[in-house]
Amino acid sequence: MKMDIPGTHPRYQSLVTREKIAEGIEAGITGEIGLIAHGRGEAFDYLIGEKTTISAYRAETVAAAALLLARHPVISVNGNTAALVPGEIIKLANTTGAGIEVNIFYRTKERHQNILNHLQKHGASKLYTSTDAIIPDLPHNRAIVDSQGIYKADIVLVPLEDGDRCSALKRMGKTIITIDLNPMSRTAKTTDITIVDNLTRAIPNIITIAEELKNKTIIELQQLLKNYNNQQTLKDAIKEIIAHLNNQSA
């Protein structure tokens, strides 16, 4: 599916994003269920005003600090992430020294390989490709990971996640960062750092912030983490949605 979307269209950004997901499905990168997930994301994006909120920016700042401080950070990539922000994921990995691992919920060998190829085409180098380890107590395909990647990571960034895997990774003692436009999702509530923002804004923001934070000392970065409260972030995200809706109805 290829559509010529005029840059002047009032919903240009949103239409381009939809087109990327549709192309992802055609290329065997994004799963069909990814469309449903995307639709839910769009609805929540409307509710937050299709912008990075103050609470989201704070979470993005802390996420950048956490990735820079990590001993072994890994970015987990699924079908939607690969379709929407492949180049940005690689740039974030390069900026923070993170590795990248493909981990998909609706797993087929073919789609796993298609996503790997797609990331390689975009210049990914530090890719974990083995499937030689299992996340304990997680009874689905997302449990299959690389022993040197997600399995060994101290921090995992998991955009668009399911709550089960978050809980299982946390039981392994890892710090988890997620990007999820729904501040009420199980994932949002389970995670250490929840970014309630669109993936397409969040990843570029984290890259810019990480570049700036590189000039800070370890103690300053640790202080950012120490002062962070994820429950407060989720409460603030809901307040920001209410404020936005009140504005719309005023």
Could you tell me the sign of the dihedral formed by the alpha carbons of 92, 96, 100, 106, in that order?
negative
Identify the residue among 18, 24, 41, 207 touching ligand PTJ (CB under 6 A). Answer: 41
Listed ranges 27-35, 60-68, 123-131, 231-239: which one lies at the site for ligand PTJ (CB under 6 A): 27-35
Residue span binding ligand PTJ (CB under 6 A) among the ranges 34-42, 206-214, 219-227, 238-246:
34-42
User: Which of 13, 19, 25, 40: binder of ligand PTJ (CB under 6 A)?
Assistant: 40
Buried b / exposed e along 212-242 (16+ C-beta atoms within 10 A): ebeeeeeeebeebeeebebeebbebbeebbe
- Nearer of residues 38 and 174 to ligand PTJ, judged by Cβ: 38
| Tokens read off for 40 | 């839910």
Give the range of 67-75, 77-85, 124-132, 223-231 binding ligand PTJ by CB under 6 A.
Answer: 77-85
Q: Does 52 bind ligand PTJ (CB under 6 A)?
A: no
- Residues touching ligand PTJ, count (CB under 6 A): 24
Question: Is 79 within 8 Å of 30 (Cβ atoms)?
Answer: yes
**Stretch in the footprint of ligand PTJ (CB under 6 A) among 26-34, 92-100, 126-134, 237-245:** 26-34
Q: Rounded CA gap, 80 and 30, in Å?
A: 6
Could you say which residues in the range 100-159 bind ligand PTJ, by CB under 6 A?
Answer: 104-106
First to last CA, the chain: 39
**What's the rounded Cα separation, in Å, for the pair 193 and 48?**
18
Q: Which is nearer to ligand PTJ, 100 or 179 (CB)?
A: 179
The reply on whether position 160 binds ligand PTJ by CB under 6 A is: yes
- Residues 204/13, Cβ–Cβ less than 8 Å: no
What is the side-by-side strand order in the sheet with 193-195? 127-128, 99-102, 73-77, 155-159, 175-179, 193-195
* Distance separating alpha carbons of residues 46 and 42, to the nearest angstrom: 6
- Residue 220, SS3? helix
Instruction: Pick from 70, 92, 145, 199 the residue near ligand PTJ by CB under 6 A.
Output: 199
Which range, of 86-94, 128-136, 197-205, 242-250, touches ligand PTJ by CB under 6 A?
Answer: 197-205
Restricted to residues 167-186, the positions that interact with ligand PTJ (CB under 6 A) are 179-182, 185
- Calculate the CA 165 to chain-centre distance: 14
77/221 with CB nearer ligand PTJ: 77
d(CA 69, CA 225): 10
Q: Minimal distance in Å, beta carbon 168 to ligand PTJ?
A: 14
Residues that bind ligand PTJ (CB under 6 A): 31, 33-34, 37-38, 40-41, 44, 78-80, 104-106, 160, 162, 179-182, 185, 198-200
